[in-house]
Amino acid sequence: MADTIDPTLLGVADTVRLTTTGELTAVAAVEASLARIAAIDAQLNAFSVVLGDAALAEAADRDRALAAGETPGPLHGVPVAIKEEIDVAGCVTTYGGVANSTPVAADAEVVRRLRAAGAVVVGKTTMPEFGAFPYTESVARGFTHNPWDRSRSPGGSSGGTAVAVATGMVPVGLGGDGGGSIRVPSACCGLFGLKPQRGRVTTAPTEHLWWALGTAGPLARSVLDSAMVYDVIRGNVETDLFRAGPTGSFVEAAGRDPGRLRIGWSATCPTRGVRPDPVHVATLQEAATRLADLGHEVVEVDPHYPDTTFAFVPQFFAGIRAEADAMEHYERLERRTRQSYRMGAWVRPGVLSWALKQGEKVAAKANRVFDECDVLLIPTIAHRPPKIGVITGKGTVRSSLASLPAIGYAALWNVTGNPAASVPCGIAADGLPTAVQLVGRTDDETTLLSLAAQLEAAHPWPLQAPR
């Protein structure tokens, strides 16, 4: 039967089902992944490093362990891709540039957990330097292309991971989200991308990812696939600066009916001056109607969004400066990154502490919307996936302004820490994916997963970009 299976068409759940029953070997799954990368990535530029020999050896170890009677892990034999900012043993953690040159000795904790669960790391994926902007363009790696239209951006900063998953190069990949960087490329590439509650996923070996803004997490082709990975990687270690509250199994939540929810929808953008494309407004209204048809109470709300400027901007600059200070070769950073570093010199420890407190005030105001509803339904991004080259040649200020349509609906929830997910909604007339964003109460990822899975079942979305 293995000869009739194309592993690159499988998601996480189906891959695990087949590898644990012996219908598909881990080696065969990884071989198919590597063959697909070799066949199409030259035109897409999703991978910065491919770990072919190491991945095949790791897969062979998985097969031997299974044959010896060992209990397979929950991600047994699943090929995974890892965003460049996350440590993978033996690889240089480049953060999308060339300012580091020494391979790291150990995996980041989330990667260690993936391997312990049976996953196989096949490579690392492209990102803009430090993930500072939501378009996957860099001096070091050039442009990463959207597989639905190669003249378009896949978004970012987890753009390489998004492209790898959307095209079946891997069933799932890790990204990071400090201002929308899981949700933005998910929306651009037709994936499910959940930003979890702040502190849900460890950032070890670092204490934080852009202070209170960032988190790691998977980009996946289904809600269940995302939940399976989260149940493996979530949880803290002693060094984590932020910690989430208690929660139940994400996998169980993805398989559970959400019950009748109060869902408030709004097309208003938290970022002043940013207007959503009519395609996104229509998609939002269609999703609201669909949710009402599923039995939920759906009403338009005014979220009364607070201004995030004084909480977000200092942490943005502090994040860049912290990562730049850790580089081996500062002089090799991109010109724009060095400009951002200089511009952020005013963010001294006292300013950063003040910004974190401002973030708490923003969170208190933003969460008042949940007095009216259980889940907030809004767009994920304001613009359609733009032509590549959005930030090329621009400095910090112009790049930031060009980024507002991408992060306008997303960055607020990094400041507040709330869970938020980009949910695919199909393909628009322009041939590119559409999406909506579900935002939940503090620590309530499980409601978002249940609701997103219900939407997925009622209105299945394309699981891969065209082949």
In tens, the pLDDT along 104-163 reads 999 999 999 999 999 999 999 999 999 999 999 999 999 999 999 999 999 999 999 999
| Whole-angstrom distance, CA of residue 1 vs CA of residue 11 | 18
Contact between residue 149 and residue 431 where contact means Cβ atoms under 8 Å apart: yes
| Whole-angstrom distance, CA of residue 125 vs CA of residue 116 | 21
Instruction: Please give the average per-residue pLDDT across 451-466, as a whole number.
Output: 94
Task: Using DSSP bridges, classify how beta strands 262-265 and 375-378 pair: parallel, antiparallel or unpaired.
Answer: parallel
| Whole-angstrom distance, CA of residue 137 vs CA of residue 154 | 10
| pLDDT confidence bin for 2, thresholds 50/70/90 | low
Task: Please name the residues in contact with 444: beta carbons below 8 A apart, sequence gap of 6 or more.
Answer: 197, 247, 419
Contact between residue 409 and residue 269 where contact means Cβ atoms under 8 Å apart: yes
What is the per-residue pLDDT for 4? 84
Instruction: Please give the average per-residue pLDDT across 222-235, as a whole number.
Output: 98
24 three-state secondary structure:
coil
What is the per-residue pLDDT for 400? 97
| Whole-angstrom distance, CA of residue 184 vs CA of residue 421 | 10
Q: How many CA atoms lie within 13 A of 417 on its CB side?
A: 24
Burial of 296 (0-12, 13-18, 19+ CB in 10 A): buried
In tens, the pLDDT along 203-214 reads 999 999 999 999
Catalytic center residues: 83, 157, 181
CA distances in angstroms from 208 to 194, 236, 358, listed in the order given: 19, 11, 18
Q: Give the ranges where 137-277 is alpha helix by DSSP (H).
A: 159-166, 183-189, 223-233, 250-254
The sheet that has 297-300: what strands, in order across it?
A: 47-50, 120-125, 79-83, 172-177, 215-220, 192-195, 420-427, 433-440, 375-378, 262-265, 297-300
234 pLDDT higher than 50: yes
What is the per-residue pLDDT for 5? 87
1 pLDDT higher than 50: no
What is the per-residue pLDDT for 412? 98
Percent share of the chain, pLDDT over 70: 99
Spatial CA neighbour of 308 closest among 198, 410, 193, 181: 410
Contact between residue 284 and residue 425 where contact means Cβ atoms under 8 Å apart: no
58 three-state secondary structure:
helix
Average pLDDT of the chain, as a whole number: 97
Phi and psi (nearest 5°) for 71? -70, 125
- Structure-block tokens of residue 217: 């997490």
Spatial CA neighbour of 287 closest among 419, 456, 420, 463: 456
- Structure-block tokens of residue 97: 């540039």
Supply the DSSP string of 297-353, one letter for each residue: EEEE----PPP-HHHHHHHHHHHHHHHHHT-S-GGGS-HHHHHHHHHTTT--HHHHH
315 pLDDT higher than 60: yes
Find residue 440's DSSP bridge partners.
375
| Whole-angstrom distance, CA of residue 286 vs CA of residue 263 | 14
Spatial CA neighbour of 378 closest among 425, 310, 432: 425
**Exposure pattern of 349-360 as b/e (b: 16+ CB <10 Å)?**
eebbeebbebbe
Measured distance between the N- and C-terminal CA atoms of the chain, rounded to whole angstroms = 23
- Domain locations in the chain as residue ranges: 2-458
| Whole-angstrom distance, CA of residue 94 vs CA of residue 130 | 9
Find residue 120's DSSP bridge partners.
79
Report the CATH superfamily, name and number, of domain 2-458: Amidase signature (AS) domain (3.90.1300.10)
Contact between residue 256 and residue 450 where contact means Cβ atoms under 8 Å apart: yes
76 pLDDT higher than 80: yes
| Whole-angstrom distance, CA of residue 183 vs CA of residue 191 | 9
| pLDDT confidence bin for 466, thresholds 50/70/90 | confident
379 φψ region: left (φ > 0), alpha (ψ -120 to 50), beta (else): beta
415 pLDDT higher than 90: yes
Instruction: Please give the average per-residue pLDDT across 70-77, as a whole number.
Output: 98
**Exposure pattern of 230-268 as b/e (b: 16+ CB <10 Å)?**
bbbbbebeeebebebeebeebbebbebebeebebbbbbb
What is the per-residue pLDDT for 276? 98
